[in-house]
Amino acid sequence: MPDAMVAASLSEATSGGTTQQVDVAVVGAGFAGLYLLHRLRKAGFTTVVLEEADDVGGTWYWNRYPGARCDIQTIDYSYTFDPELESAWKWSEKYATQPEILRYFGFVADRYDLRRDIRFHTRITAATWDQAAERWLLTTNEGATVSCRYYIMATGCLSAPKPPEIDGVKDFKGEVYFTGRWPHEEVKLAGKRVAVIGTGSSGIQSIPLIAEQAAHLTVFQRTPNFALPAHNGPAPADRVALLEGDRASYREQARWSLAGVPWPQQMAVSWQLSDAERRERLDEAWAKGDLVYILTQLWADQGVDVDGNALLADLIREKIHETVKDPETAAALTPHDHPFGAKRPCLDTNYYATYNRPDVTLVNLRQEPIKSITASGIKTDERTFDVDVIVFATGFDAMTGAIMAVHPITGRGGKSLSDVWANGPQTYLGLTVAGFPNLFMITGPGSPSVLSNMAVSIEQHVDWVVDRLIAMRETGFTAIEATETAQAGWARHMADCATLTLHRLANTWYTGANVPGKAQGVMPYTGGVGPYRSICNEVASGGMLGFRLTGPNVAEQCNDGEIVRLQPDVRLVLNMLADMKLPPLESFGAQGARDFLAEFNAARPAGRPVGEVVDGTLPGTDGPLPYRLYRPTTPGPHPIVVYFHGGGWVLGDQESDDPFCRDMCRRTGMIFVSVGYRHAPEHRFPTAAEDGYAATRWIAEHAADLGGKPGPVMVAGWSAGANIAAVTCQLARDRAGPQISGQLLVCPVTDCTFDRPSYSDNATGYFLTRSLMYWFWDLYCSPADRTDPRASPLRGKVRSAARRGCRLRRSHGCRGCAGRAT
């Protein structure tokens, strides 16, 4: 059927009979669902939104507990799609209360007349893909089914409360409340003995207010959490001025930022700051009361390096001890089991100070776990607490819970989503799932969602999805499905990103660890909002890479592949270089390229401190060669690694890989001696190789003088430096020493042949391009000499096990080196 006819036939949104026919069905009338409805309607798609509650608001409809507020500043936690909406609504506080946020959603629903297409009190009980009709059939709790071409889950990440998993809840004779399902009518706590179980955001926000009302409050804490003062009040003048000064640019910056709030990328690293400077930064952040600021703006390594994080966590721990008077209570409230930020930190108002009240008791469940709930209260291993009210602030089955709550979701070939996700959620971009055509998720697992300002992420997802539906309608496609290749590639990229952060080091709802039996893994995309947006844009501009598109009258389109093949940090650097629009390095000439590199290196962050850095010279074959030695902080003598810098035998010196050498020295606990070998074109082959060998020999002979362990040394190198390291090993073997205990070859050049796949696969777009490699080789070595094993060590006497080329590429999927050796 032509697209126009498909659209025409489906756009009769008849709710006659028992099946409502629509183009698109959306589940959830929260932040995402409302914007979806607005955009879909404007784009001419007939749409119905199915919502379990009796009004709009999503998670803000349900979370009515005392103290419930957003923890992203409200000027940022707002829709931005319509400037008129922005000027029509004024937030009264920096962090709006739940009632105000709910009023906002009501205002939005009224302004765009959204309620008429929302079916309230409606829960989906099953969703089934009909392959023949290319439509989803949704059955609901209230009878009428829905048939839709596209099915979009806008169910939110924190909307399925988790059961408390404590025996005896049903036996309790008093009142029971769940923060995630708080009653609409007033809950009277005055004069009552109240227990709160759970100290995540919901507990931390509600505890101070419950304490003010209750006769006595007992808080049952399993894991202490980091909380920071919100300093609520009017929106900060500086942020408002920034927004109002240039609203469009402020919003645009947010869209391309890491967390969806326009703070710049912090460049200073912790070791560049003194203790006093770090403390000053923390105090400033503490006074600001801004979660995103404190998570991103103190120093660049706080979120990616355990040591950089510990410096910050220690300062926050001090703040807790300054506030809480009783040292034992302060110690119990102080988090020690996770890096700061790896678990969602909370914004509080008087949280820690509440424990100074005589009518508030903290029970540390790590010391006395809850045994059961009884008719009169809560029994731990050591005590019984009689209470009138129990508040469960025990959290959610996050990210997947609300999606899986629609059970079963049956895709192509009768596959059930719960089976497909049995070992953890698998998605492409967090938006789609292979095997489930025309199903989309907004802020699904695999998207930045909960690690970002949800408002920005939601708008981006909705715009991307709706724009794709429009494009499909224009081109005659009626079904879209992610490919397995693309999905597997996304999983790899997700894992690569997560490895660079500290989220994997904490048991949290981000990883599924808070729900017993749930498969564990970092569920949100940790690569940042801006990078994610550019990836989504690349998918679309790259011919819907990773999607199969079909339609009745058009040829199938499947541009299969992985959207991100590079390691995220390599991608970041390459993108930055691409943005600089540099001419090819080889066009500078040798000296020009050296000058450029020196300037480039001067601008990079300094490497980490090590025990000692010593510059010296050693005798080479034709005169002294400079070296730089890096010594660990630990007591020696240490094993020695002789290191050769990269730079195509033409560029660099003993200092040019300084941050890398420091890092290696620190992590391995070995001395690194970086050798300044001579360069081409002034000194062509085999000078660099012979210098490398001579230096290694001298260093091995003088190991003890250098503070190292006498005996064999290791050699290491990067790129052309790795070529020298590999050659050195063979020369040492063939020339009776020195003894080499191992070689570390990072992206090594091991052979002169240019017919390796990497030379064509990765020929352009990299810092190290094919033409740059040609240039390096031409400057270093005449064609006649290139097959000499001192230039192409793969041609020397090597055992087959050594023919593995770049180990990083094989074992860690390194593609940044363009795999020259393979």
131-160 residues in contact with ligand NA7 (CB under 6 A) are 158
Using the minimum distance from each CB to ligand NA7, give the nearer residue, 80 or 202.
202
Closest Cα partner for 444 from 490, 498, 410, 407?
490
Instruction: Please select the residue that binds ligand NA7; options are 20, 47, 74, 202, rule is CB under 6 A.
Output: 202
Which residue, among 537, 550, 561, 559, has the nearest Cα to 464 in the 3D structure?
Answer: 537
**Which of 57, 200, 208, 339 touches ligand NA7 (CB under 6 A)?**
200
Q: Which of 110, 165, 382, 622 binds ligand NA7 (CB under 6 A)?
A: 165
CA distances from residue 523 to 411, 436, 674 in whole angstroms, order as listed: 22, 19, 41
Q: How far is the CB of 228 from ligand NA7 (least distance, A)?
A: 13
Task: Considering the complex, state which of residue 442 and residue 688 has its C-beta at the smaller distance from ligand NA7.
Answer: 442
Q: Check if the beta carbon of residue 194 is closer than 8 Å to that of residue 389.
A: yes
Q: Which stretch binds ligand NA7 (CB under 6 A): 113-121, 377-385, 394-402, 594-602?
A: 394-402
Size of the site for ligand NA7 (CB under 6 A): 23
| Identity of the residue, 98 or 122, whose beta carbon is nearer to ligand NA7 in the bound complex | 98
Least CB distance to ligand NA7 at residue 222 (A):
4
Compute, in degrees rounded to 10, the torsion defined by CA atoms 165, 167, 169, 171: 170
CA angle (436 as vertex; 434, 437 as ends), nearest 5: 100
Instruction: Please report the beta strands in 429-553, taking only residues with DSSP state E, as ranges in sequence order.
Output: 439-441, 479-482, 547-551
Structure tokens belonging to residue 70? 């957003």
Q: What is the DSSP letter of 261?
A: S
**Binding of ligand NA7 by 209 (CB under 6 A):** no
Q: Smallest distance, Å, CB 792 to ligand NA7?
A: 56
Among 20, 201, 349, 457, binds ligand NA7 (CB under 6 A): 201
User: CB 386: neighbour CB atoms within 10 A?
Assistant: 13
Site string for ligand NA7, 474-513 (x = CB under 6 A): -----------------------------------x----
Crossing angle of helices 687-701 and 720-734, in 10° steps, is 60
Residue 222 interacting with ligand NA7 (CB under 6 A): yes
CB contact set of 332 (below 8 Å; sequence gap of 6+):
221, 224, 362, 364
CB-CB contact of 129 with 411 (8 Å): yes
Mark the segment that binds ligand NA7 (CB under 6 A) among 197-205, 275-283, 774-782, 795-803: 197-205
Query: Considering beta carbons, is residue 280 or 381 the nearer one to ligand NA7?
Result: 381
C-alpha 547: how far from chain center: 23
Based on the number of CB atoms within 10 Å of its own CB, is 804 exposed (0-12), middle (13-18) or buried (19 or more)? middle
512 neighbors 519 (Cβ within 8 angstroms): yes
Residue closer to ligand NA7 by CB (options 507, 668) is 507
The window from 162-170, 309-317, 571-579, 801-809 that contacts ligand NA7 (CB under 6 A) reads 162-170
Question: What's the min distance (Å) between Cβ of 219 and ligand NA7?
Answer: 10
Q: At which residue do the structure tokens 């980490």 appear?
A: 608
CB of 368 to ligand NA7, least distance (A): 12
3-state secondary structure of 593: helix
- Alpha-carbon dihedral sign for residues 167, 170, 176, 182: positive
For residues 97 and 575, what is the distance between their CA atoms, to the nearest angstrom? 40
Q: Cβ-count burial of 635 within 10 angstroms (0-12 exposed, 13-18 middle, 19+ buried)? A: exposed
Cα–Cα distance for residue pair 622/516, rounded to 1 Å: 68
Nearer Cβ to ligand NA7 (78/394): 394
223 binds ligand NA7 (CB under 6 A): yes
Binds ligand NA7 (CB under 6 A): choice among 57, 203, 229, 489: 203
Question: Residue with the closest Cβ to ligand NA7?
Answer: 200
Q: Which of residues 395, 430, 607, 721 is near ligand NA7 by CB under 6 A?
A: 395
Taking the least distance from each CB to ligand NA7, the nearer of 39 and 343 is 343
Quote the DSSP letter at residue 644: E
Those residues with Cβ within 8 angstroms of residue 241's Cβ, 6 or more apart along the chain or in another chain: none
Whole-angstrom distance, CA of residue 236 vs CA of residue 152: 36
Name the amino acid, one letter, at 503. Answer: H
568: how many CB neighbours lie within 10 A of its CB? 20
Stretch near ligand NA7 under the rule CB under 6 A, chosen from 388-396, 549-557, 618-626, 732-740: 388-396
Return the number of the residue (332 or 549) whose C-beta is nearest ligand NA7.
332
Please report whether residue 164 would count as binding ligand NA7 according to CB under 6 A: yes
Radius of gyration, CA atoms only, the chain: 31
Q: Which stretch binds ligand NA7 (CB under 6 A): 130-138, 195-203, 290-298, 682-690?
A: 195-203
195, 197, 320, 713: which one binds ligand NA7 (CB under 6 A): 197
Contacts of 148 (CB under 8 A, 6+ apart): 21, 22, 23, 24, 25, 48, 135, 136, 138
Among positions 101, 153, 312, 365, the unique one binding ligand NA7 when judged by CB under 6 A: 365
Q: Provide the mask over 99-138, with x wherever binding to ligand NA7 is found by CB under 6 A and - wherever it is not.
A: ----------------------------------------
Q: Is 61 in the site for ligand NA7 (CB under 6 A)?
A: no
541, 378 contact by CB (below 8 A): no
Q: With CB under 6 A as the contact rule, which of the stretches 198-206, 238-246, 645-653, 797-805 interacts with ligand NA7?
A: 198-206
Q: Kindly state the smallest distance separating residue 351's Cβ from ligand NA7, in Å.
A: 12
Which residue from 270, 394, 410, 550 is in contact with ligand NA7, where contact means CB under 6 A?
Answer: 394
Which span sits near ligand NA7 by CB under 6 A: 85-93, 109-117, 194-202, 565-573?
A: 194-202
Binders of ligand NA7 among 173-192, rule CB under 6 A? 179
**Contact with ligand NA7 (CB under 6 A): which of 80, 199, 487, 769?**
199
For ligand NA7, which is the closer residue by CB, 200 or 632?
200
Binding flag, residue 97, ligand NA7 (CB under 6 A): no
* CB proximity list for 140: less than 8 A, separation 6 or greater: 50, 119, 122, 123, 124, 125, 146
DSSP letter for each residue of 647-701: STTTS--TTTTHHHHHHHHHHHT-EEEEE----TTTS-TTHHHHHHHHHHHHHHH
Question: On the CB side of 572, how many CA atoms lie within 13 Å of its CA?
Answer: 13
At closest approach, how far in Å is the CB of 508 from ligand NA7? Answer: 7
379 in contact with ligand NA7 (CB under 6 A): no
Q: Smallest gap, in angstroms, from Cβ of residue 364 to ligand NA7?
A: 11
CA 420 – CA 435 distance, rounded (Å) = 9
Binding string, 508-547, against ligand NA7, x = CB under 6 A? -x----x---------------------------------
Which residue from 7, 126, 144, 166 is in contact with ligand NA7, where contact means CB under 6 A?
Answer: 166
Nearer to ligand NA7, 47 or 452 (CB): 452
Least distance in angstroms from the C-beta of 181 to ligand NA7? 11
How far CA 170 is from CA of 82, 175, 376, in Å, comes to 48, 11, 11
Which of 28, 198, 796, 816 binds ligand NA7 (CB under 6 A)? It is: 198
Binding residue for ligand NA7 (CB under 6 A) from 344, 662, 790, 820?
344
Residue 582 tokens, joined: 């540099």
Q: Residue 16 CB, nearest distance to ligand NA7 (Å)?
A: 41
The C-alpha atoms of residue 125 and residue 123 are separated, in whole angstroms, by: 6
Interacting residues with ligand NA7 (CB under 6 A): 158, 164-166, 179, 197-203, 222-223, 344, 365, 370, 393-396, 509, 514
